[in-house]
Structure 1
Amino acid sequence: MSSVSWLWSRALLTNKSFLWLLFIVNALGTVYGYIWYGDQLIETYDHNPAWQLIFVPDSPTASLFFTLALLYLLFPPKRELKGPAKWLRSAIEALGVVTSVKYGIWAVAMIIAGAMKGTPMVWENYMLIVSHLGMAVEALLFTRFFAFGIAAAFGAACWLFLNDMIDYSYYVYPWLPQVLDDILPDVRNFTVGLTLFSFLLTVLALRLAERSRGLK
């Protein structure tokens, strides 16, 4: 095995020490993400119905689901899960992958779009680009180790479509660089299209994982 391919090998990705490192990094990133959304959450609470709060923090909720999904790899069930426990695992893992792919790409796209329209790039922008790209990449890399299928991925995509509808109907989408306010319809269309793209990319990752297992 080459040194490059080792970076996405089962031996590394399922190593307990590496999984714990990834769990800690994602957990801290999730906490940081909710803090980042603090002002918007307060404003939403002050001016909108409370039920809309859940639709505000997109990226940290995605990383929260992925962090929870890692627990199934760190503490594998001693026997096969059935019924509600199986459905819960599938839902958490599917949401962790599909939402992380979407919002990982979305955040990077919005930062770059803002920069192209004149928003100055500061160190936080570069940090967010790296961390959000990491969200998307890790989600796709770990798809093969999770237990969810296409049906659960479709359910996660439906949640994202609902989130898109709420975001742009009630204006609780993540705060954008100000220079993007005048192209909000384009941002909305891109966001909805990215939901579909993230679902299809997840399906592709699942198919590749099935094919890889079939070749063994």
Structure 2
Amino acid sequence: MTIRVLIADDEALLRMAFSMILEAQPDLTPIAEAEDGATAVRLTTELRPDVVLMDVRMPGTDGIEATRQIIRTCPRTKVLILTTFDLDEYAFAGLKAGASGFLLKNARPEDLLTAIRTVAEGDAVVSPRVTHRLLEKLRPHIPDATTTARDERLSALSARERQVLVQVASGLSNAEIATTLRLAEATVKSHLGRILHKLDLRDRIQAVIFAYETRLVHPA
């Protein structure tokens, strides 16, 4: 199945570069380009791409607001935030707006391609470092163990699924979890898919928050 991608960036050369990288892949197709957030929202509504590569800093409607509008009107479309700046405010705002991932523009082409395929499959792409920084922000708001009721949804998880969820909450990637638990990476992805389904969670980030809120894992 071909993954249809919309590229939103105010720099024409970057749009061209991303498009050329995608066109070289048999399973990825760039279908449109947008130079600002408002155009990205309009084209997404018209074309319904599978993934939007979204720059943060664009004239007019910025990438964060465009992401928020796209997720609200086209919930099946996944948004992958791309930025030159490794700042918490961009990562957290993008994830809060509904983005499925956060990637720096200086990432290797193979990492970009992997990220697009990952979010298209319904998973999230957030580096362990960003995950840990997100948890640092959340820590003051996590209820104390003595006042937190164990979420009944945890009982729906198998022992292995709980193990996988703990590793996800620790910020490990699927490949790292596979190595740690001595599983195939495809098996880890299957477990994660079942975890999200059973817990009625949208993505990896919500799974991390759930694990901490239910005290399945504890802040360091």
> TM-score by structure 1 length?
0.28
Q: As a proportion of its length, which structure holds more strand?
A: 2
Q: As a proportion of its length, which structure holds more helix?
A: 1
